[in-house]
Amino acid sequence: MVLGRSPETGRAVEIEIQDGRIAAVRETSREPGDLWIAPGLIDLQVNGFAGVDYCSPQTTLDAIARSISSLRATGVTRFFPTVITGSAEGMRGALRNLARARREIEEGVSIVGLHVEGPFISPDDGPRGAHPRQHVRPPDRHEFLRMQEAAEGAIRLFTLAPEMPGVLALIEFLASQGVVVCLGHTGATSDQIRDAIRAGATLSTHLGNGCHGMLPRHPNYIWDQMAADELYASLIVDGIHLPAAFVKVAVRAKGLDRAILVTDATSPADCAPGRYRLGDVDVELTPENRVQVVGTRTLAGSALRMDRGVENLMRFAGLSLAQALRMATVNPARAARLEGRTGFLQAGDIADLVLFRPGFVVEQTLVGRLS
């Protein structure tokens, strides 16, 4: 039995767990003090954490296990390791390594699936972000199939640019395979975005980032994606990637059911300032908590933790604790079609739970393990 205060009602609840699932949620007269309880957080986009780079085929399983333990300390129970644009061989190597970690290490149960971001993205400065230009390439179904084979079928999210030649056929194919197609690192026109949605795209990756430095007032691909009711939108709420006003407007536009908190964390996250690696790219964490390509101001993911992201959401968008938590639990589960996570502290769901104190100070993270 797990005891805490529900963010939805403010009242104390007891959660009964059987065989790795929530068997019952009951209000109780027992006093939990200042201990609150919520579903475990879900991060759809993690390139690395605690000094560990998920984009490198050479990363050891011990290092991945250590990074997952660090992620759990921030309230994350399930996440999608994310491999960015690189050489075909390098990307397959990283996917193969992560699939092995998912299968072999005890902590691998937290890896829901894998997210591939690139290489079928815009080659232009701005939309390309920190992805290496030399490895950007046209969509290729056969390359995806080779990636999926290396990943042991674990690729569940795939980010691409809808203006790339031949991309609509690939979107249709990915959707038919159960892969969530995400739009990102794009300079697409309004028609290209609409066509991609009709082909099966359902999510905008880190909306408002991976963009040109200057855009027409309208139309542009940020407004088009914000206005598309069919698209979920993930947001990096670190105060660096997006200003508070943009976060507030984006949450209002997408609604509380389709806005999602992500970190886009890279290896420097939860580390001291210094130099680190993101796939083929040298990056640095500055004292201001910016992760950028060495020698530039180009952002290369973030150093955000999900627990701090929840707090930022409340401050930036004026959300309640319960509303911010839905963007970090229920919404990502639905967008990624995650089985066993259908509601907020709901009987029958996997018993992924986080216990925390005011200020979202994580006390304990419980990862449901099905027998």
Kindly list the catalytic residues: 264
Quick check: helix, strand or coil at residue 87?
coil
Rounded Cα gap, residues 175 and 180, in angstroms: 6
CA atoms within 13 A on the CB side of 191: 0
275, 282 in Cβ contact below 8 A? yes
233-271 burial: b if 16+ Cβ within 10 Å, else e: bbbbbbbbbbeeebbbebbebbebebbbbbbbbbbbbbb
Q: What is the CA radius of gyration of the chain?
A: 19
200, 227 contact by CB (below 8 A):
no
- How many residues make up the chain in this entry? 371
Residue 194, both tokens: 């609409």
